[in-house]
Structure 1
């Protein structure tokens, strides 16, 4: 039976949520084992910013399990079974509105930066109601269709090339990409690339690329029967041992154990449209 989750109902525990401008804000740690999270829907639209842990989402464009900065938008009525690997993780949720459409990963560094700032301010207690509301409205602006007359204020967003590089990183299957390749694609110096990545995405280009390789490896392990050596080669790791070390550091489990668990509890898109997401 599908569960209906209301505004303040998330699988997690943390400080009391806050309300501002018709939105609610939640900073939560997962508190349910992944196999206890049931298919459910939300009566309001909401964003989920992953702060720690491997988040398994069926949202369109989201990795099989997160290891890079991830922000997911779920329109009102989204049905899914998104959850954290091993039930361990932290997230910041913003709930409110009745926007319709498909659940999707928000591949926009500006939106990530806004959400990360709001989460940090919420945790420190420095966030005013006005600042929280502004963040929610900025995020909604990133996912709603824009008219031709909509123009971003000068200097308020990251450079246009960062969004192009970020989108390319998500869509490309080239596991040999390096930070220099990203810089060449953007037409900027690698040092400038690193500075902009750190400012807007809160990670280095190398950390981001390593995370993408781990996400691809997790997806291959969960979906097929290729050998660990073949998965390592296909995702840009030196060998099986290298993959195993990196995978265990990131997800606190071995690739073999991950595969067994995923075959027992497959993450499948169950939203009313193909590819969905919590």
Structure 2
């Protein structure tokens, strides 16, 4: 039977939570090694915004491990074993405000929702944040997963219409050589303006997004097949195997070969070995 978690129970530690209106807010650093995170069920709906680290989520459309902006919505009754790679990372959790029935956990691919969640996280650094700074944005997040709710809130301060298109393009395009110029051309804007809008709403540059997508693509290929490291490097858009290995070690503190072994061990039902850098 899965462990049940209340709205204040997360595998993390951080500033005192805020309870405002029908929501609670936590900004936390991961505290538990991967193997200590058990399969568990959340009775209440909640959002998780990854602030740092690689997050392993079973949510629909989520990568095997995140290296790009990741906002996950978990509806009431979600059962999962979502956790941070090597137990290291930080996140924002917002619970409450969603009373509909159970459904699948999903990755939220709305740049405005990602920006809104980051704006909530930033309130923890303010000496005297106003309740509306939390509550209003929390309702905007709920609106992002309830398309028919609060259309006026969703229209307020929206990013340019092209941002979602190019954001999704980075996930759906098959071309491993996709570059920032391609995204700018699709958006119909100058690359400098593209970078400015990305930084505002997604808290990363277009180049960081594309590099992260290559790493996510490589991680998925390593965990799901027998392609050689050279083949994975080519298919994921790296210059060569050495380039892949360097980027992988820098991002995940593991070589591609070691990553493949760990994924195979988990798929076989084993417990991951202690991580040692």
- Mark yes or no: TM-score above 0.5: yes
Gaps of 5+ in 2: 270-277
Q: Distance in 1 between matches of 2:268 and 2:157?
A: 37
Gaps of 5+ in 1: 269-278
Match of 1:123 in 2: 125
- Does structure 1 retain, via aligned residues, the 8 Å contact 2:49–2:72? yes
Higher relative contact order (CA 8 A, sep 6+): 1
- Does structure 1 retain, via aligned residues, the 8 Å contact 2:45–2:95? yes
Match of 1:33 in 2: 33
Match of 1:13 in 2: 13
| Residue 42, structure 1, aligned to residue 38, structure 2 | no
| Residue 246, structure 1, aligned to residue 257, structure 2 | no
Q: Distance in 2 between matches of 1:194 and 1:253?
A: 30
**Matches of residues 63-78 of structure 1 in structure 2 within 5 Å?**
63-78=63-78
TM superposition shift of 1:153: 7.2
CA RMSD of aligned residues (A): 1.9
Secondary structure of the residue aligned to 2:35 is: helix
Secondary structure of the residue aligned to 2:238 is: coil
Structure 1 residues 154 and 22: CA distance shift in structure 2, 3 A: closer
| Residue 189, structure 1, aligned to residue 179, structure 2 | no
Match of 2:220 in 1: 219
Count of equivalent residues:
267
- Does structure 2 retain, via aligned residues, the 8 Å contact 1:56–1:267? no
Structure 1 residues 266 and 26: CA distance shift in structure 2, 3 A: farther
| CA shift digits 1:228-258 (9 cap, x unpaired) | 1111011000001000111111111111111
Q: Distance in 2 between matches of 1:110 and 1:153?
A: 8
Structure 1 residues 266 and 153: CA distance shift in structure 2, 3 A: closer
Match of 1:112 in 2: 114
TM superposition shift of 1:225: 2.0
Match of 1:210 in 2: 211
Structure 1 residues 8 and 165: CA distance shift in structure 2, 3 A: same
TM superposition shift of 1:181: 0.6
Q: Distance in 2 between matches of 1:155 and 1:128?
A: 19
TM norm structure 1: 0.91
Structure with greater strand share of residues: 2
2:105 to 75, 92, 103: 103
Q: Distance in 2 between matches of 1:219 and 1:75?
A: 25
| Residue 139, structure 1, aligned to residue 144, structure 2 | no
| CA shift digits 1:170-192 (9 cap, x unpaired) | 22232111111111111222221
TM norm structure 2: 0.91
| CA shift digits 1:252-273 (9 cap, x unpaired) | 11111111112122499xxxxx
- Does structure 2 retain, via aligned residues, the 8 Å contact 1:45–1:99? no
Q: Distance in 2 between matches of 1:71 and 1:24?
A: 17
Secondary structure of the residue aligned to 1:76 is: coil
- Does structure 2 retain, via aligned residues, the 8 Å contact 1:229–1:240? yes
